[in-house]
Chain A
Amino acid sequence: MNPGDRVRVDRADRTYEGVLLPSSTDEQLVVKLEGGYNVGVDRDGADISVLAEDVYEIDGDADGDDAVDAAEDADADADDDASDEVEFDDDLPTISLISTGGTIASTVDYRTGAVTAQFDAEDVLRAVPDLAGRANYRGRVVANILSENMEPPIWQDLAEAVHEEIENGADGVVVMHGTDTMQYSASALSFMLETPVPIVFTGSQRSADRPSSDNVMNAVSAVEAAKSDCAEVLVCMHGTESDDVCALHRGTRVRKNHTSRRDAFETVGAEPLGTVDYHSETVSFRRDYQERGEVDLTLSDALESDVELLKFTPGMDPAFLDVVEGAEGLVIEGTGLGHVHTDLIPRIEELIADGTTVVMTSQCLEGRVCDRVYDTGRDLLDAGVIEAGDTLPGTAKVKLMWALANEESVTETMQTSIAGELQERSVPWE
């Protein structure tokens, strides 16, 4: 008896006939009945007979080791068909679709019942037919992971892949990414790449296996943004709860601010840089941006991995600071203007003396750090803490990883805007 077999299960006074599903467990059989309903039947005391074998081919994962398989699949795809070309039209720009996994390209895992990413970029084209006719597409899979499993080495793989695609003539790049850590990856690419074409991250908040998924509109809008004149790293996600407008956020200023809403992504401290109107398919911008072709393509993808982000909260055990002893970098998410408990300052001073670069950001998220206002702040500055202005804490961590590996003066770099992450003027209404 295997998943995909048509079976009859008799238990107590009941009989169920249908297809055996792989979501069955040791305790329960799960059977898909004729009408489409799934039902769980206790194995205990159940009399099972197979009526027909393999009536459905079930795309389950036989050995049950998803992580390994996903990685293997991704490797295989990357090697075998690193760039699948789909019908070419001379009049259309070429857009590279790079997949890293995530809800936009996900499906229901039949065995676990969970939503997982199983599609490569070409499947996305098949899944989102609305993309057809907008561009020539090149598909590429860099990873096939849930975005909570994202790691800095994959940012590097991603940056290299994007670099290669642009070198090979892509007029724009769309990166399909899980939403959980999209802002970190977008920040990483913002620092690692100087780009002459748009690099647009997109994903979906509601999985692609539901008719109401936001994946179609987000993907279409991302492609339109990738065809635009804005050669920056952008995040393109729903701008409202309606299927009407996508917002274009600068990769270093964006934050996922809601667990489930379609319009979860927001630019912190300003209106989004631009919008894509889904009806008219027009892309427009509120502020200045780096134009297409303004800079030459360069890649600086070195990262210092030994950097931590620590959020200070009342009652925090000072021992947390011992954990980061010897680290290359530490970003603190302080309170208010950029503070921690006064008692922690001597320990921070020791860390800095020991060679750790310590950067201060604020858990207020909105507004800039200013440690010259109160004594605590002045003591922190005296201890050698670097203020990161209004750089978002997560962005500051990625930036510090990048700065430590690429720049000589880390202090100066952390206080200078590299990719729009640090705003000179606080004008949140713009």
Chain B
Amino acid sequence: MSTRETASGSGAESDLDYDDLGLVAGLEIHQQLDTTTKLFCQCPTELREPEEADRTFTRYLHPTRSELGEIDEAALEESRVDREFEYLAYDSTCLVEEDDEPPHELDAEALETVLEIAQLMDMSPVDQAHVMRKIVVDGSNTSGFQRSTLIATDGEIETSEGAVGIEDLMLEEESAQRVEETDDGVRYSLDRLGIPLVEIGTKPDISTPEQALEAAERIGMLLRSTGKVKRGLGTIRQDVNVSIADGARVEIKGVQSLDDIDDIVRTEAARQRELVEIREELAERDASVGDVQDVTDVFEDTESGVIGGALNSGGAVMGVPLAGFDGIVGREIAPDRRLGTELSDHAKRHGAGGIFHTDELPAYGVTEDEVAALREAVGAGPDDAVAIVAADTDVAEAAIEAAAERAETALEGVPEETRGANDDGTTRYLRPLPGAARMYPETDVPPVEPDPSEVPEPELLTEKVERYQDEFDLGEGLAEQVAYGKHMPLFEDVVADGIDPTLAATTLESTLTELRRDDVPIEALTEAHIASVLQLVEAGELPNEGVPDLLTVLAEEPDQTAEEAAEDAGLGGADEAEVREAVVGVVERNEEQVAEEGMQAFSGLMGECMGALRGKADGDLVSQLLREEIQKRS
């Protein structure tokens, strides 16, 4: 059984009564917009490979006060770590991304797109939108802030479990892509920085994991209905806010896949319930957190690789006694994650590799004698636990303090915090919740007054599915594939240009998929390639059967036009005489069979004829001529 199944499928979790628990969840959906230029400059919104970078530069960031004189707690914690940020710049980025030129005015195309989205969610645009700076000092924005603008408030979407309110809609700039950790800090790529991003926040109206998933799906459908959002990995991200009645608001960042949302909510609700139970048990035991102590002496002759390694390089072992915590530090609060893992997450933020605690010791080379000596050194009894950190002295001190602080919080229950989604459906501590203090006005960009009166109302994808069935006679499955697929705008364009809808739909949804499976490099095909191939069919210059072959040729040599490729590859244009010659050849080679079976031989020979013509001829014509030739001979 995989970890993932543990997360979603274990009986205890799925049986939770969420009503009883007082589960409250909200979503924040971030979706990149497919605009021509970035939000605050005229650069294209295309992604690049790090190897294509032609310039690099390095910077540091320092936290600043908001206009109300406050410093954001999350920003402050982030900045305690002095890191150097390196940025990769491209021929497709400019000085605005490098924070070496003031931002240009807010992109009009992006504004129009988010107003369309606001309308789909029944939201009210603000009279005047003010661009704000949201302080982010992890280096992902060269400026040290993300520009974000509140565009609309107070909407609603439907789910089968009732309406979910939409709190607000923001138009923001996408952050720079993290490429890798370097020795001194982090390397970021500027290609993604500044791509317009819409953030949609729901009200905390969601009360079950299933409703969270449904609401996210609904919002995703509405976004894609505009036809103006980017598609593919990383272009949409979901954050989930979860709390239970006795718990606290926890913001979970970076849920990559929509399908994980219900699991994340389930696991988080269960984690909070466990933490509440731990709080009650600790209260019963009258538990407390003691003072941090240097326990290096205990491990002088240790066999433990981790501790020995730290001590050999001049480090220290710092410990903290946790009175009444015995057995609780090791208690599982989420699949394969214990209270100790939470303490460890906090210690890691300060540069330590993690913590050891007595609920898991002796282990990792730490002996029973050492555990006994450790307990004695910090004055811990049998009902108590001890947590230790081995690292450079400074790091060990900061890390054990952070772990002790987190243990202290366990006495109070669930801490409010920002967590990151792990691949297995669990989450890890990231940083404190950001506050309003991290927002201050972007004085370089004038406010804008959104004009909702000129915004078109797009057709919803759900409506498209029905229309494709009614109007174009597509089957429900194919209609859905097309409407929700990334080629939907292309489909509508070519059909409007007179291409047969069935041909367009099968080409876009089946043919391309089949070619990809056959390792044809279809990513080289542009929309113009596909459209012109379909035009050739429509004009009678290419048989339906020639479409896969022509697309293959174009994918391999994308510099050609469809007409050139068709001609070079000898596709299409086989006239009747040519076809008849091929058919006669096949019939003559199979003379005996035709004589014996007559028209029964048709289907076998049809395949052979098509093969001989290699997609150059229309199937109907081949079929007609083959019948005639068989007729003649039987």
A114 interfacial by beta-carbon distance below 8 Å: yes
Q: Which of A313-327 contact B (CB under 8 A)?
A: none
Given contacts A14-B124, A242-B58, A260-B101, contact A37 B443 (CB under 8 A): no
In the bound complex, residues from chain A placing their C-beta under 8 Å from that of B135 are: 211
Q: Nearest Cβ in chain A — how far from B262, in angstroms?
A: 26
| Closest B residue by C-beta to A109 | B443
Say yes or no: is B633 at the interface (Cβ < 8 Å to chain A).
no
B145 within 8 Å of A by Cβ?
A: yes
Q: Which residues of B contact A115 (CB under 8 A)?
A: 443
**What separation, in Å, do the CA atoms of A314 and B148 have in the docked complex?**
46
Report which of B63, B154, B437 forms a contact with A14, defined as CB distance below 8 A.
B154
CA distance A394 to B438 in the complex (A): 42
> Are A208 and B128 closer than 8 Å at their CB atoms?
no
Binds A, one of B136-144, B267-275, B582-590: B136-144
CB-CB under 8 A for A56 and B68, given A35-B436, A39-B128, A241-B98: yes
Whether the pair A39, B129 counts as a contact (CB closer than 8 A) is: yes
Q: How far is the CA of A241 from the CA of B99 in the complex (A)?
A: 10
Chain A positions within 8 Å of B128 at CB level = 28, 30, 39-42
Q: Are B57 and A36 in contact (CB under 8 A)?
A: no
Cβ–Cβ contact A110 & B67, under 8 A:
yes
Chain A residues touching B, majority SS: loop
Quick check: is A209 within 8 A (CB to CB) of the other chain? Answer: yes
Task: Check B95–A212 contact: CB distance below 8 A.
Answer: no
Contact A39 B130 (CB under 8 A): yes
Contact at A36–B60, with CB atoms within 8 Å?
A: no
Cα of A186 to Cα of B144 in the assembled complex, Å: 31
Of the residues B100, B124, B127, B144, contact of A211 by C-beta under 8 Å: B144
Are A30 and B64 in contact, CB atoms less than 8 angstroms apart?
no
Contact assessment for B57 and A210 in the assembled complex, using a CB-CB cutoff below 8 Å: no
Chain B CB within 10 Å, residue with most, of A30, A32, A42: A32
Contact of B134 with A by CB under 8 A: yes
Selected from B100, B101, B127, B153, the residue in CB contact (under 8 A) with A28 is B127
* Nearest B residue (CB) for A55: B68
Are the CB atoms of B443 and A113 closer together than 8 Å? yes
Q: Is the CB of B126 within 8 A of A39?
A: yes
A212:B124 contact, CB within 8 angstroms: no
A233 at the B interface (CB under 8 A): no
A121 on interface, CB distance cutoff 8 Å: no
Residues of B within 8 A of A181 (CB): none
Query: Could you say which residues of chain B place their CB within 8 Å of the CB of A241?
Result: 57, 98, 100
Chain A nearest Cβ from B510, distance in angstroms: 46
A379 within 8 A of B: no
Q: Give Cα A23–Cα B443 distance, bound, in whole angstroms.
A: 11
Q: Which residues of B contact A296 (CB under 8 A)?
A: none
* Chain B, residue nearest A30 (CB): B130
Chain A residue contacts of B75, Cβ below 8 A: 211
Contact of B143 among A30, A42, A212, A217 (CB under 8 A): A212
Cβ of B57: which chain A residues have Cβ within 8 Å of it? 240-242
Is A260 touching B143 in the complex (CB atoms < 8 A)? no
Chain B residue at minimum C-beta to C-beta distance from A259: B101
Binary contact track A60-96/B, C-beta < 8 Å → 1, others 0: 0000000000000000000000000000000000000
Task: Map CB proximity to A onto B71-93 as digits: 1 under 8 Å, 0 otherwise.
Answer: 00001000100001000000000
A33 to B148, CA, bound (A): 14
Q: 1/0 contact trace for A96-135 toward B, CB 8 Å?
A: 0000000000001010011100000000000000000000
Contact (Cβ within 8 A) B99 A212:
yes
**Residue A13 interfacial (CB < 8 Å):** yes
Q: A243 at interface (Cβ–Cβ under 8 A)?
A: yes
Is residue A206 contacting chain B, with contact meaning CB distance below 8 A? yes
Choose one: B62, B126, B441; the contact of A108 (CB below 8 Å): B441
Q: A373 on the interface (CB 8 Å rule)?
A: no
Interface: B435 (CB within 8 A):
yes
Known: A39-B129, A108-B67, A210-B144. A260 touches B100 (CB 8 A): yes
B447 contacts the other chain (CB 8 A):
yes
Say how far A219's CB is from chain B's closest CB, in angstroms: 11
Q: Tell whether, in the assembled complex, residue B130 and residue A37 are in contact, meaning their CB atoms are under 8 Å apart.
A: yes
Is the pair B137, A211 in contact by a Cβ cutoff of 8 Å? yes
Quick one: which of A185-226 are within 8 Å of B by CB? 205-206, 208-213, 216-217
Q: How far is the CA of A370 from the CA of B84 in the complex (A)?
A: 48
A261 beta carbon closer than 8 Å to chain B: yes
**Inter-chain contacts of B95 with A (CB < 8 A):** 260-261
Q: Which residue of A lies closest to B98 (CB)?
A: A241
Structural contact, A242 and B59, CB atoms closer than 8 A = yes
A108 adjacent to B58 (CB under 8 Å) = no
Closest Cβ neighbor of A240 among chain B residues: B57
The answer to whether B18 has its CB under 8 Å from any CB of chain A is: no
Chain A residues with CB below 8 A from B68, complex form = 19, 32, 56
CA distance A211 to B137 in the complex (A): 7
A209 touches B127 (CB 8 A): no
Would you call A211 and B143 a contact (CB within 8 A)? yes
**B108–chain A nearest beta-carbon distance, Å:** 18
What's the nearest-Cβ distance from chain B to residue A103, in Å?
12
Q: Which residue of A lies closest to B134 (CB)?
A: A36
Say whether B126 contacts A41, CB under 8 Å: yes
Nearest Cβ distance between residue A43 and chain B, in whole angstroms? 10
A263 to B133, CA, bound (A): 24
What B residues does A42 contact at CB under 8 A? 127-128
B440 interface residue, CB < 8 Å from A?
Answer: yes
Contacts of B102 in A (CB 8 A): 260
CB pair A217–B60 under 8 Å, yes or no, is yes
Flag whether B525 is at the interface (Cβ < 8 A). Answer: no
CB under 8 Å from chain B, chain A span 8-44: 11-14, 16, 19, 23, 28, 30, 32-42
Taking CB as reference atom, which chain A residue is nearest B123? A14
A230 → B minimal CB distance (Å): 26
Residues of the B chain whose Cβ atoms lie less than 8 Å from the Cβ of A59: 69
Q: Which of A12, A108, A216, A217 has the most CB of B within 10 A?
A: A108
Whether, in the assembled complex, B386 has its beta carbon less than 8 Å from a beta carbon of chain A, the answer is no
Evaluate contact between B150 and A40: CB separation under 8 angstroms. Answer: no
Q: Which residues of B contact A217 (CB under 8 A)?
A: 60
With A38-B132, A206-B99, A261-B95 already in contact, the answer to whether A212 and B436 are too (CB < 8 A) is no
> With an 8 A cutoff between CB atoms, is A255 at the interface?
no
> Are the C-beta atoms of A216 and B132 separated by less than 8 Å?
no
Inter-chain CA distance A105–B242, complex, in Å, is 42
- Tell whether, in the assembled complex, residue A40 and residue B438 are in contact, meaning their CB atoms are under 8 Å apart: no
B216 at the interface (CB under 8 A from A): no
Contact B59 A212 (CB under 8 A): yes
A36-B438, A206-B99, A211-B137 known; A243 and B59 CB under 8 Å?
A: yes
Q: How far is the CB of A83 from chain B (nearest CB, A)?
A: 26
A399 proximal to B (CB < 8 A)? no
With known contacts A213-B62, A242-B58, A243-B59, A40–B127 Cβ distance under 8 A: yes
- Chain A residues near B69: list those with CB within 8 A: 59
**Neighbouring A residues of B447 by C-beta, 8 Å:** 40
B150 touches A37 (CB 8 A): yes
Chain B residues 421 to 445 lying within 8 A of chain A, measured CB to CB, are: 435-441, 443
Does A211 lie within 8 Å of B61, measured CB to CB?
A: yes
The reply to whether the CB of A262 lies closer than 8 angstroms to some CB of chain B is yes
Given A36-B132, A40-B447, is A13 in contact with B126 using a C-beta cutoff of 8 Å? no
Residues of B within 8 A of A (CB): 57-69, 75, 79, 84, 95, 98-102, 124, 126-130, 132-135, 137, 142-145, 148-150, 153-154, 168, 170, 435-441, 443, 447, 449
* Between-chain CB contacts (< 8 Å), 16 pairs: A13-B154, A14-B153, A30-B130, A33-B150, A108-B67, A108-B441, A209-B440, A210-B64, A210-B143, A210-B144, A213-B62, A213-B64, A241-B100, A242-B57, A260-B100, A261-B95
9 tightest A-B CB contacts, nearest first: A211-B144, A40-B128, A36-B439, A36-B436, A38-B130, A37-B150, A242-B57, A211-B61, A212-B144
Known: A14-B153, A32-B439, A40-B129. 19 other contacts (CB 8 A): A14-B126, A28-B128, A33-B150, A35-B436, A36-B438, A37-B439, A41-B128, A114-B443, A211-B79, A211-B144, A211-B145, A212-B143, A213-B62, A216-B62, A241-B98, A243-B59, A243-B84, A260-B102, A261-B95
